Chain A
Amino acid sequence: MASHGPLVGEFFMNGDEACAEGAISAGCRFFAGYPITPATEIAERMAERLPEVGGTFIQMEDEIASMAAILGGSWGGVKSMTATSGPGFSLMMENIGLGAMMETPCVVADVQRAGPSTGLPTLTAQGDMMQARWGSHGLYGIIALSPSSPQEMFTLTIKAFNLSEKYRVPVLIMGDESVAHMSEKVTIPPPEQLEIFPRRKTSLPPEEYLPYKPDADLVPPMANAGEGYFYHVTGLTHDERGYPDMSAEAQQKLVRRLIDKIDLNKKDIIEIEEDQIDGAEVVVCSYGISARVALLAVKAAREEGVKVGMLRLITVWPFPDERIRQIAGKVKAFVVPELNAGQIALEVERCVAGKAKTILVPHMGGAVHDPKVILEAIKKAAK
């Protein structure tokens, strides 16, 4: 199969298409998915593009199968991805947990729509943010990114693959319908200008290799299937050999590490964007499409003389606790606009721990906020 490189140049495309192109630029060569609005265009684009770059696309029978298939694809040695929206994301949860337990690098794009249940299939929301963190049963660390533009659907998809290979964890791209369906200029740099984190391969021979013995950063190096390592991988609690170990001690050691490998590497993982936080009286904390809308309100508030800063979460999970704590001591309030009834606002409130007010600007989804509502919240908070 001839392999052609990724696209290079400037394009006008929507967020879903940009996500697919980001995946291809990141080296993703296996996509298993199931159609669902508003994520379908990612699958459609992959169906067209993967054969062109020597990759494989398969439309599976459902989302559960899609998630299981990308775990298999990743162990087969190929960067793998799926894309879905809320209902499908719910179905994927068990195998996202398996991915976390087996420490399988892979990327899941959840293009959020309004729920619960079938909700508003073609309209935007940010209602899956807590599901992204806690959706699968048990305890584990996870990484979730939140793009605000088609360009970020591209760049953050690459980042998602990089983090996923680096920390051996499923990485979630928490898009939303608005970002997925808006078309804007997307710049795709030449491959040599992109930073791509390769798979963490073991340098040990099979006799010495322990598949779950971590490096200093708590992440174990990997061997792909078919390379003669003859390892066992299981969703059961396991020891460093990968063998099931049904003891509280093994659970403590393994699950603690699955959480710590994300927590203790927060500095490396977390990316936030800040604007005029120093000297601010109020800080707006938002993400995804809501952050873009909030920016209009922030600008309007500044014109009216309010000292307001903006904190945009690019990485949502792990949560930037430390930075929010630092800011909390210096401002009156955080204003948190989000397209749900307050999921990330709870996290902000937790970090602020009473040192400032947390003002949620909720919206049940179906549309984006009216910037005026956010402006009013900012002005009220500044008083």
Chain B
Amino acid sequence: MNGNGKDDHIETGFLLRQDRLPHIWCPGCGLGTVLQSFLRALVKSELPLEKVAIVSGIGCTGRVAGYVKLDSFHTTHGRAIPFATGLKLANPEMKVVVFSGDGDLTSIGGNHLIHAARRNMDLTVICVNNFIYGMTGGQVAPTTPVNARTSTSPLGNFEPAFNLPNLVTAAGATYVARWTAIHVRRLENTMTEALHKKGFSFVEVITPCPTHYGRKNRQGSGLTQLKYYRDNSVIKHGAQLGEVGIGMTDPITVGKFVDIERPTFSDLQSRIRSPKTAAEVQSTKK
């Protein structure tokens, strides 16, 4: 695909729990592709696998944790980020990846998303955005474009949608990128970079959900949706973040938007630590 033949043979099967396959995802769903890009990124990152953990919330994307042969945690709806925060702080040598859907991360989990970005918590968050709630049957999400139909916006969504790169950047994320499920190689490279980034990295992946979003909005099969992404994506690294919102029929701006350095929560915390001796502690406490 990228003309670089040697990249095409990254072995990723050993990273899957083969005994759990087939997976539950629908035919044409983008989740398999995104997961595959992640696994390739993981191999390319050369991180020691026992030091990588994956945490997800609930929903179709939430099931990712169950298919990946890492220490993997399938937690409660919206709470993958705080769970991952605890895991990371308890075991700082680990690379903790949160892999979850747009509803999980930005609706019920929205508070945790902005605070983890604000703290620059050292996590990689992969947000699979299919503009809709998949597992519960295609309801409106905070990412549903205006006018899109869902089972709880049958007359067309009238609520403005989150521009996620803008949101997390404003909150303090130090690495922010967006691709679609057709940009598999670029996605893989971005994920590799994100895995090596120290600080809060956020990768949004626009992904087809043919079963709900595609069907309700006459966008056709997964493949048709991918073709749409191919024809309607504009790569614009460092784009003005106010302008990367996604409409029903507008072009989708993709690329790496933010890659800056800022001390992480743990960096700042270790700076303020001034260990006292046990004797000093006792004398102040008596």
A and B assemble together: yes
User: Does A155 lie at the interface of the complex (its beta carbon under 8 Å from any beta carbon of B)?
Assistant: no
Q: Does B73 contact A52, Cβ atoms closer than 8 Å?
A: no
- Having A61-B111, A224-B91, A225-B87, one finds 16 other A-B pairs with CB under 8 Å, namely A4-B276, A5-B278, A8-B282, A51-B275, A60-B115, A68-B82, A70-B86, A71-B86, A72-B87, A75-B71, A76-B89, A94-B76, A226-B50, A229-B71, A233-B72, A234-B74
Q: Does B85 contact A69, Cβ atoms closer than 8 Å?
A: yes
Q: Does B281 contact A226, Cβ atoms closer than 8 Å?
A: no
Other-chain contact of B90, A78, A95, A233 (Cβ < 8 Å)? A78
Interface string of B6-32 (1 = CB under 8 A from A): 000000000001011000000000000
Residues of A within 8 A of B85 (CB): 32, 58, 60, 65, 69, 72
Interface residues of A, dominant DSSP? mixed
Q: How far is the CA of A265 from the CA of B70 in the complex (A)?
A: 33
Q: Does B276 contact A77, Cβ atoms closer than 8 Å?
A: no
Interface residues of B, dominant DSSP? helix
User: Does B55 lie at the interface of the complex (its beta carbon under 8 Å from any beta carbon of A)?
Assistant: yes
Q: How far is the CA of A4 from the CA of B82 in the complex (A)?
A: 28
Q: Does B89 contact A58, Cβ atoms closer than 8 Å?
A: yes
Query: Chain A residue with minimal CB distance to B284?
Result: A48
Residues of B within 8 A of A74 (CB): 86, 90
Interface residue tally of chain B, by bracket? Answer: 35 or more
User: Does B250 lie at the interface of the complex (its beta carbon under 8 Å from any beta carbon of A)?
Assistant: no
Q: Does B73 contact A233, Cβ atoms closer than 8 Å?
A: yes
User: Does A383 lie at the interface of the complex (its beta carbon under 8 Å from any beta carbon of B)?
Assistant: no
Residues of A within 8 A of B94 (CB): 76, 225-226
User: Does B75 lie at the interface of the complex (its beta carbon under 8 Å from any beta carbon of A)?
Assistant: yes
Query: Chain A residue with minimal CB distance to B265?
Result: A58
Other-chain contact of A77, B88, B90, B111, B112 (Cβ < 8 Å)? B90
Q: How far is the CA of A370 from the CA of B275 in the complex (A)?
A: 47
Q: Does B17 contact A232, Cβ atoms closer than 8 Å?
A: yes
Residues of A within 8 A of B81 (CB): 65
Of the listed residues A2, A60, A72, the one surrounded by the most CB atoms of chain B closer than 10 A to its CB is A72
Q: Does B82 contact A7, Cβ atoms closer than 8 Å?
A: no
Residues of B within 8 A of A54 (CB): 275
B117 CB, nearest partner CB in chain A, Å: 11
User: Does A144 lie at the interface of the complex (its beta carbon under 8 Å from any beta carbon of B)?
Assistant: no
Residues of A within 8 A of B19 (CB): 243
Chain B 42-95 residues near chain A, CB threshold 8 A: 49-51, 53, 55, 65-66, 69-76, 78-79, 81-91, 93-94
Q: How far is the CA of A58 from the CA of B66 in the complex (A)?
A: 28
Q: How far is the CA of A58 from the CA of B51 in the complex (A)?
A: 22
Q: A70-B86, A228-B50 are in contact. Are A1 and B270 (CB under 8 A)?
A: yes
Q: A230-B50, A232-B66 are in contact. Are A68 and B75 (CB under 8 A)?
A: yes
Q: Does B281 contact A231, Cβ atoms closer than 8 Å?
A: no
Q: A7-B285, A68-B83, A230-B70 are in contact. Are A80 and B90 (CB under 8 A)?
A: yes
Contact sample, A vs B, 20 pairs, CB 8 Å cutoff: A4-B278, A7-B282, A9-B286, A13-B285, A54-B275, A58-B85, A58-B89, A68-B76, A68-B83, A69-B85, A71-B75, A72-B88, A76-B88, A98-B75, A224-B91, A226-B50, A227-B50, A229-B71, A232-B66, A232-B73
Q: Does B115 contact A65, Cβ atoms closer than 8 Å?
A: yes
Residues of B within 8 A of A234 (CB): 65-66, 73-74
Other-chain contact of B79, A5, A68, A231, A233 (Cβ < 8 Å)? A68
Residues of B within 8 A of A2 (CB): 275
Residues of A within 8 A of B66 (CB): 232, 234, 243-244
Q: A1-B273, A4-B277 are in contact. Are A232 and B74 (CB under 8 A)?
A: yes
Query: Chain B residue with minimal CB distance to A5?
Result: B278
Of the listed residues A1, A32, A56, A231, the one surrounded by the most CB atoms of chain B closer than 10 A to its CB is A56
Residues of A within 8 A of B75 (CB): 68, 71, 98, 235
User: Does A272 lie at the interface of the complex (its beta carbon under 8 Å from any beta carbon of B)?
Assistant: no
Q: Does A76 contact B115, Cβ atoms closer than 8 Å?
A: no
Q: Does A226 contact B275, Cβ atoms closer than 8 Å?
A: no
Residue numbers of A with Cβ under 8 A of B are 1-2, 4-5, 7-9, 11, 13, 29-30, 32, 49, 51-52, 54, 56, 58, 60-62, 64-66, 68-78, 80, 94-95, 98, 102, 224-236, 243-244
Q: How far is the CA of A70 from the CA of B89 in the complex (A)?
A: 10
User: Does B269 lie at the interface of the complex (its beta carbon under 8 Å from any beta carbon of A)?
Assistant: yes
Going nearest first, the 3 A-B pairs with the smallest beta carbon separation are A76-B90, A72-B86, A69-B86
Other-chain contact of A72, B65, B82, B273, B276 (Cβ < 8 Å)? B82
Of the listed residues B79, B85, B112, B274, the one surrounded by the most CB atoms of chain A closer than 10 A to its CB is B79
B25 CB, nearest partner CB in chain A, Å: 14
Query: Chain A residue with minimal CB distance to B85?
Result: A69
Q: How far is the CA of A51 from the CA of B89 in the complex (A)?
A: 13
Residues of A within 8 A of B55 (CB): 72
Q: How far is the CA of A69 from the CA of B75 in the complex (A)?
A: 11
Residues of B within 8 A of A65 (CB): 79, 81-82, 85, 111-112, 115
Query: Chain B residue with minimal CB distance to A243?
Result: B20
Q: A4-B278, A244-B66 are in contact. Are A231 and B71 (CB under 8 A)?
A: yes
Q: Does B86 contact A73, Cβ atoms closer than 8 Å?
A: yes
Q: How far is the CA of A231 from the CA of B264 in the complex (A)?
A: 28
Q: Does B69 contact A235, Cβ atoms closer than 8 Å?
A: no
Query: Chain B residue with minimal CB distance to A69?
Result: B86
Other-chain contact of A61, B112, B276, B285 (Cβ < 8 Å)? B112
Q: How far is the CA of A65 from the CA of B84 in the complex (A)?
A: 10
Chain B 185-244 residues near chain A, CB threshold 8 A: none
Q: A76-B94, A227-B50 are in contact. Are A1 and B89 (CB under 8 A)?
A: no
Residues of A within 8 A of B78 (CB): 64
Query: Chain B residue with minimal CB distance to A236?
Result: B74
Query: Chain A residue with minimal CB distance to B108?
Result: A64
Residues of B within 8 A of A226 (CB): 50-51, 53, 71, 91, 93-94
